[in-house]
């Protein structure tokens, strides 16, 4: 089997490349390295089954040879990134999705879209089932990401219905693990970076808003099961265990062994008050549910962050 993974040098994309290679696939990673980094796939450089192409998927994609699967994971995914790159985010969700669907169609390949729980916006119900249509501010600052992914889902389903393309869509909820960037703006990297540098840990709003955090190995396993399934409609993959952001910050601070204070800043516009997946469908259709608990996942991730922080300090000397 040969897969094309867009965004293959990103946090999730690189873990997906590892997973597929471990199962004997050939993998071509396509990434323009806007938010991804070659460091994430450096360990694969001598693997004869892995190749990396630096390319912007919003432009025409040419891939010689046969392709069995196209997996579209390219996109800025953290608020810091997509607020800084709003037009690129909209383009990779629209033009990038169109181009990757065209590649899959030309190669008679299966297609997989990495969508997001952000499709639900600031939800009026919790946990969020796939049948919930969402509460999204289309013209707000977060709309560039939310609407890019909602459009991508609509385009994928149009290719499935009109062209008969074998497609799959995952809605990814908050995921964490090694290879996240320390400066990517999401809650966990922010807390860790602030804790390691002795800065106050920043919590937005009252900290009572909730999130649910899924360890990356659990997510990738769920994605693979969805890839191999006959399910074409969007499917939630995430950890249904909710935790407040304040409690999460306190837990990270304890595990880091730091005493820096927690400070509160105004809540960003349209920031969801709750984010928790209903994974009934994943349990039923994929026989999947997360296995790594938060304590274990955080310990593995914090070790990775400490190593990344130490390397960055050495490089700056």
**Hey, which residues are catalytic here?**
145
Per residue in 109-139, is it b (16+ CB within 10 Å) or e — as a string? bbbbbbbbbbbbbbbeebbbebebebebeee
Q: Determine whether 271 is exposed, middle or buried from the number of CB atoms within 10 Å of its CB (0-12, 13-18, 19+).
A: middle
Residue 235, phi-psi category: left (phi > 0), alpha (psi -120 to 50), beta (remainder) = beta
Query: Do residues 237 and 279 make contact, with C-beta atoms less than 8 angstroms apart?
Result: yes
Tokens 């297609």 sit at which residue? 111
Structure tokens at 317: 């000397």
Residues forming beta bridges with residue 170, ordered by sequence position? 114, 235
C-alpha distance from residue 15 to each of 22, 27, 54, 219 (Å)? 11, 12, 18, 10
**Percent helix, strand and coil across the chain, each to the nearest 5:** 45, 20, 40
Query: Do residues 80 and 34 make contact, with C-beta atoms less than 8 angstroms apart?
Result: no
**Closest listed residue to residue 227, CA positions, set 31, 119, 71:** 71
């Amino acid at each position: 089997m040969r897969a094309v993974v867009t965004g293959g040098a990103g946090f999730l994309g690189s873990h997906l490349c590892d997973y597929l290679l471990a199962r004997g696939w050939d993998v071509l990673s396509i990434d323009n390295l806007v938010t991804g980094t070659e460091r994430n796939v450096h360990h694969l450089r001598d693997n004869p089954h892995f190749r990396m192409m630096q390319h912007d998927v919003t432009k025409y994609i040419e891939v010689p040879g046969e392709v069995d699967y196209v997996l579209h994971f390219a996109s800025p995914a953290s608020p810091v990134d997509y607020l800084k790159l709003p037009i690129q985010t909209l383009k990779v969700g629209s033009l990038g999705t169109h181009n990757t669907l065209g590649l899959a169609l030309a190669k008679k390949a299966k297609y997989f879209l990495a969508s997001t729980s952000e499709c639900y916006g600031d939800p009026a119900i919790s946990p969020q089932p796939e049948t919930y249509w969402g509460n999204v501010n289309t013209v707000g600052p977060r709309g560039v990401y939310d609407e890019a992914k909602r459009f991508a889902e609509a385009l994928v389903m149009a290719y499935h219905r009109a062209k008969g393309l074998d497609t799959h869509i995952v809605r990814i909820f908050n995921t964490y693990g090694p290879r996240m960037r320390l400066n990517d703006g999401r809650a966990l990297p922010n807390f860790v970076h602030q804790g390691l540098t002795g800065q106050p840990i920043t919590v937005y709003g009252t900290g009572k808003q909730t999130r649910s955090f899924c360890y990356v190995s659990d997510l990738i396993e769920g994605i693979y099961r969805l890839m191999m399934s006959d399910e074409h409609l969007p499917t939630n993959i995430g950890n249904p265990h909710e935790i407040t952001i304040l409690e999460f910050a306190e837990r990270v601070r304890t595990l880091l062994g730091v005493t820096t204070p927690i400070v509160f800043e105004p809540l960003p516009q349209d920031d969801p008050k709750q984010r928790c997946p209903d994974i009934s469908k994943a349990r039923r259709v994929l026989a999947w549910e997360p296995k790594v608990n938060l304590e274990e996942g955080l310990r593995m991730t914090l070790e990775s962050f400490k190593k990344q922080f130490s390397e960055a300090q050495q490089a700056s000397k």
